[in-house]
Amino acid sequence: MNCILARDTDMKVLLVDDYALPMIATACSQTELLKHKVYLIESLNSAARQRNLMKMLRCYILLRPRLASVDAACVELRMAKYRSYHIFFCGTATAEMLDRLAHADNDSLVEQVQEVFCDFNAVNNDAFVLETPPPQSLVSSFMSASQVRRLAEGLASLMVAQRRRPYIRYQKNSPFVQRLTAELVEVLKSDTSLYDYPTRDTVLLLLDRSDDPLTPLLTPWTYQAMLHEHIGLRSNTLKLPADVQGAEKEGYVFSEHDDSFFANNMFSNWGDLCNSVKKYVDQCKAALNLDRPTATLEELKDFMQKIPQTQSLTGSVTKHTTVTTYLSSVIKKRNLLEVSLLEQDMIASSDQRNHWARLQSIASSASTSQDDLTRLCLIYHLRYEQPSGASQVTPYLDRVNSNYALLLRKLRQYYGHHRATDRLFAATGVMAKIVKTFVDVGNIYTQHEPVLKRTLQQLYSGQLDTASYPYLEQSTSSRWRHAERGVQANGGDCVHVRRVYIRGGSART
């Protein structure tokens, strides 16, 4: 947005299409936009065309290169309600799009048209999402050609934004990833000069989300993942249920750019988070601890100067205490500590009889939600049952919903009928037990390590199998360590795995 909006004193209006709206909502706060003198933000569609004539405003339009969005921009140009127009495409605009805009600019009000390449949603400093319409099936191979094209264009836009042309590696056993790779090649070939950067010290690894069906089934225990799972984060905005006492109706923004507490604790586990919230509350109390009847003039003056910062601190403390209090009530109501303990035990050990007895006990509890029971059944099925045999968990799934027994077949279809599930779980052999005796496993609720962690370890060390993850261009050795590594998991973003990162030469969780 710093490249789009000029930092001057002119008042501005920002019009965005439905594709670009999530990007703006995630990346920019209202405070940041006000710094650029943006006083009005509206949607670029027919429902919002009843705006008044405001010739004192300069209009900035941000849109994806789609004909429907271009046509909406043309309508705005013909109405000529603003002093001038500045049009920015999130990706590559075609000659036809530029021609339509030129014919619609009857009053010659367009001052600039640019391509800014921001066709992705930056949810974290190191994580992005490519928004696509929901597919008809969880199986990625059923995605339409337009959805695959949109993913390829988003990846190409990311390359331009980072001024990188990475080496591309892809998961060979995934038909969908192969489709995406072929589509990405076509996009890069469409304008070789645009995507040809001399810096080639980066690798982009394209993966299929279905390679790890286990991790999304587990109860998350880190702050950002819990917010997403138990409440819902949309464009980094969260709204608590209306009956929650003290909750703001407009919701809360959770962004590491604008919230230092969230930035420092977004990957903290539940226990550490609760301790951090307590310290945060104590910090706020200390900041407000001013005995006014006995305070000196200098103390009063210092307090008055700090009022804006104090208000910001109290607002942030209120937000996080309100949200964590609600999360605590969810954990207690759904008995998630017991549910999650069984999940982690099934992952870290092999004891079918014990695990089945505990699953039966949890299923008979009135506090167990249908979603939690369904997740436990699916995890048990992956851990102990064969896809071709009868399943013990079918009666419990039928109790939740008469069609839920089909989830077992769909889960196997999603992961692959003939793929072994042992790789999804922790090693449970004699050597693994010996190692656990001497190595602290840490938090028992976060023992699981996603498949992505092992993949990143192999990628970093140069040991990632080139037969299973080939290079698109065979121009480098797999053992050459790239300075930067990017991963795109196709088929959905699992917030829980965002906490997997590389530090000091090893992948950590």
H or E segment to which residue 62 belongs: strand 54-63
Strand positions, DSSP E, 174-213: 202-208
Please give the structure tokens belonging to residue 359: 């699953």
Neighbours of 464 (CB within 10 A): 19
Report the pLDDT averaged over residues 437-459: 77
Residue 314, amino acid? T
Report the pLDDT averaged over residues 350-358: 96
CA–CA separation, 305 and 64 (whole Å): 45
Return the percentage of the chain with pLDDT > 70, whole number.
85
Please give the structure tokens belonging to residue 439: 């190595």
Name the residue with tokens 């980066």.
202
Q: Mean pLDDT of all residues in the chain?
A: 86
Nearest alpha carbon to residue 384 among 346, 414, 418: 346
Write down the pLDDT at residue 382.
95
Query: Is this structure's pTM higher than 0.95?
Result: no
* Per-residue model confidence as pLDDT tens digits over 377-414: 999 999 999 888 889 999 999 999 988 989 999 999 88
The answer on pLDDT for 296 being more than 50 is yes
* Per-residue model confidence as pLDDT tens digits over 453-497: 999 989 988 899 999 999 987 655 545 566 677 888 887 777 767
Could you give the C-alpha distances from 337 to 74, 353, 445, 448, in angstroms and in order? 55, 21, 8, 15
CA–CA separation, 83 and 79 (whole Å): 11
Nearest alpha carbon to residue 257 among 236, 276, 233, 273: 236
CA–CA separation, 446 and 426 (whole Å): 12
Q: pLDDT band for 64, please (50, 70, 90 cuts).
A: very high
Report the pLDDT averaged over residues 285-302: 64
Please give the structure tokens belonging to residue 237: 């905005």
Fold annotation for 12-119: Rossmann fold (3.40.50)
Pair 91, 188: CB distance under 8 Å: no
On whether the 223-333 domain is CATH 3.90.830.10, my answer is yes
CA–CA separation, 419 and 14 (whole Å): 50
CA–CA separation, 436 and 453 (whole Å): 19
Report the pLDDT averaged over residues 85-100: 96
